Amino acid sequence: MSINIEMVDKKAPISGEIRMSTRDLSLFYGNFQALRKITLDIPENAITAVIGPSGCGKSTFLRLFNRMNDLITGVRVEGRVELDGVDIYGKDIDVVELRKRVGMVFQKPNPFPMSVFENVAFGPKRHGKKNRLELEDIVEKSLKQAALWDEVKDKLNQSALALSGGQQQRLCIARVLAVEPEVILMDEPCSALDPQATLRIEDLMRSLAENYTIVIVTHNMQQAARASDMSAFFMMEEDRAGILVERGPTAEIFTNPKDKRTEDYITGRFG
């Protein structure tokens, strides 16, 4: 596989503001080290793509940012993970509030077995919003942000499970947006979708990046080249611990990587 240089769009300039970061971050599952000494900045209002071969810890790294790894027995984290300069693994952190600020979209669409409306209203209700008119406004706004409103505005009371796969994934994005996050994590959000649905999600990500910080894990090099502003390349060391090899603007990573391992992966020589 090779990446056509023309695929790497020139994105808008990235601001100097850092929204999230890791510092000397290591993660262990029991005695197994899954990530080793990773230091990475995530710029705000931009899309950062995490790329690399299977098993190198990309999804584990992504889940650090909203502490989803806490749900796994035996996980231990060393180093710092920061949101706006605050260590989110500190003792005083409210994890429920953190996951409101840092939302997540998973690999396969996972709408709840309820109506389209109730899927989007679920989060706001959990956070105390009860007024029907207010909920209706939130649902409409979120579905519009997710580029889904025109397709479902007459189906709000129908089951979300009746939507197509691409529509379900955009519904899941609307569900995240409904609680007004600051950061959106996406773990291979297009892997279960057809090419047309994939392009719609990519266009949506570009639109959302104007107001949100987005981190996406993807195995699709063309997708990373098309959609992201920054890229971070991970791979495994001999003991299977994931490491960060190289990071930088996507155009540079894909056209002039500094590390030969990055070039070999992007051009399909391994991985």
Total structural domains within the chain: 1
Q: Any bridge partners for residue 32, and if so which?
A: 29
DSSP label at residue 131? -
- Is residue 27 included in any domain, yes or no? yes
pLDDT of the residue at 16: 65
Domain holding 221, by residue range, is 14-113+182-266
How remote is the C-alpha of 156 from its chain's centroid?
Answer: 26
Burial string for 93-124 (b: 16+ CB within 10 Å, else e) reads eeeeebbbbbbbbbeebebeeebbbbbbbebb
Mean pLDDT by 10 residues, the chain (271 residues): 47 71 97 97 97 96 96 95 96 94 94 97 94 97 96 97 96 97 96 91 95 96 95 97 97 95 89 61
- Is residue 24 included in any domain, yes or no? yes
pLDDT of the residue at 192: 86
- Is residue 123 included in any domain, yes or no? no
CB 212 within 8 A of CB 142: no
Query: Sheet holding 86-87: strands in order across?
Result: 86-87, 75-83, 18-29, 32-43, 242-249, 230-236, 47-51, 213-217, 183-187, 102-105
- Is residue 105 included in any domain, yes or no? yes
Helices (H), 156-234: 165-177, 195-208, 221-227
Q: Which tokens go with 225?
A: 């080249």
Q: How many residues does the chain have?
A: 271
Q: Give the integer Cα–Cα distance in Å for 65 and 185.
A: 8
Query: Residue 255 is part of a domain; what is its CATH number?
Result: 3.40.50.300
- Is residue 240 included in any domain, yes or no? yes
pLDDT of the residue at 268: 85
Cβ partners under 8 Å of residue 216, min gap 6:
47, 48, 49, 50, 185, 186, 187, 189, 205, 224, 227, 228
pLDDT of the residue at 271: 61
Q: Which tokens go with 47?
A: 């899309």
Q: Model's pTM, two decimal places?
A: 0.92
- Is residue 58 included in any domain, yes or no? yes
